[in-house]
Amino acid sequence: MQKLLQKEKIMERLNIANLNTIIDIGAGVGEFSNGMMSFNPNCKVYCFEPIPETYGKLKSWAKGKPNVRTFNIAIGNEEGIKEMDFCVTDPLSSSMLEPDNPEFGGEKKKLVVYQTKLDSVMADKVLQRELFVKIDVEGMEDKVIIGGKNTISEAKGCMIEVHLAPLRKKQPTFRDIFVLMDSLGFEYCGNASQSYIEHNAIGHIDALFRKKSQLYVYDKEDIKKNSVEDTGGNQGS
């Protein structure tokens, strides 16, 4: 897998100048958030990690950091108790979705987790501007976005891991994610990283989405009005 773009390049591409809030969904042990906090050690950080063992390490990292809050829950588009396929030898490949190939991810066991919507958790939180959202949820990306539309819409930029190789049943395609993010006012602006599989095919990407520039937001009635006025002027000359 290729390395992530330098953090500075990610922020530049997302047009984030003053990072104030990070929402890290699928936070693992906190490595990514820890790196991003170099821009602002005092920024608010909300980390979500459903796997108890991994969450324990995340909580240890967050200890002594009053601006970091951790949640031992899964994020999706439904509320309630869910089953996850926990990959014993590769915990980071654990998923709520059934794999296409039963051998993918190695030995597995069922893990019971609590799932909720991002919007439900963040409803009473005051989000500072320059919000960055990272989503790494092994095939649940569309469900996270659907259950967190209000929160994600407030972001300046997002990084979303999307698998292009068909690893799991009902996993979203890049087009699915693109359409969802477009509906929330984001534009795709490249990848922070991508991995390759056999035959040099792309396995997954860390796709970057930024809020669309105001330069590209037009009022349809204004366009129609200006078009009529221009045409009228040309006809009268």
Which runs of E-coded beta strand occur in the chain?
21-25, 44-48, 68-71, 74-76, 80-87, 108-117, 131-135, 157-163, 186-196, 202-211
**How far, in Å, are 37, 77, 109, 193 from residue 146 at the CA level?**
27, 6, 28, 24
Amino acid at 202: I
At 2 the pLDDT is 46
- Residue spans of the chain under pLDDT 70: 1-5, 105, 214-237
At 105 the pLDDT is 67
Answer for the pair 135, 149: CB distance below 8 angstroms, yes or no.
no
* Residue 116: Cβ within 10 Å count: 18
At 82 the pLDDT is 94
Q: What's the rounded Cα separation, in Å, for the pair 141 and 152?
A: 12
Of 129, 99, 139, 115, nearest to 17 by C-alpha is 129
Domain spanning 7-79+115-212, CATH architecture: 3-Layer(aba) Sandwich (3.40)
At 6 the pLDDT is 80
pTM for the model: 0.85
**How far, in Å, are 11, 19, 47, 70 from residue 209 at the CA level?**
11, 16, 20, 24
At 86 the pLDDT is 86
37 φ/ψ sector (left φ>0, alpha ψ -120 to 50, else beta): alpha
Going edge to edge, which strands form the sheet with 80-87?
Answer: 74-76, 108-117, 80-87
Q: What is the residue extent of each domain of the chain?
A: 7-79+115-212
At 25 the pLDDT is 98
pLDDT tens-digit profile of 118-160? 999 999 998 888 999 999 999 999 999 999 999 999 999 999 9
CA–chain centroid gap for 63, Å, is 24
Mean pLDDT of the chain: 86
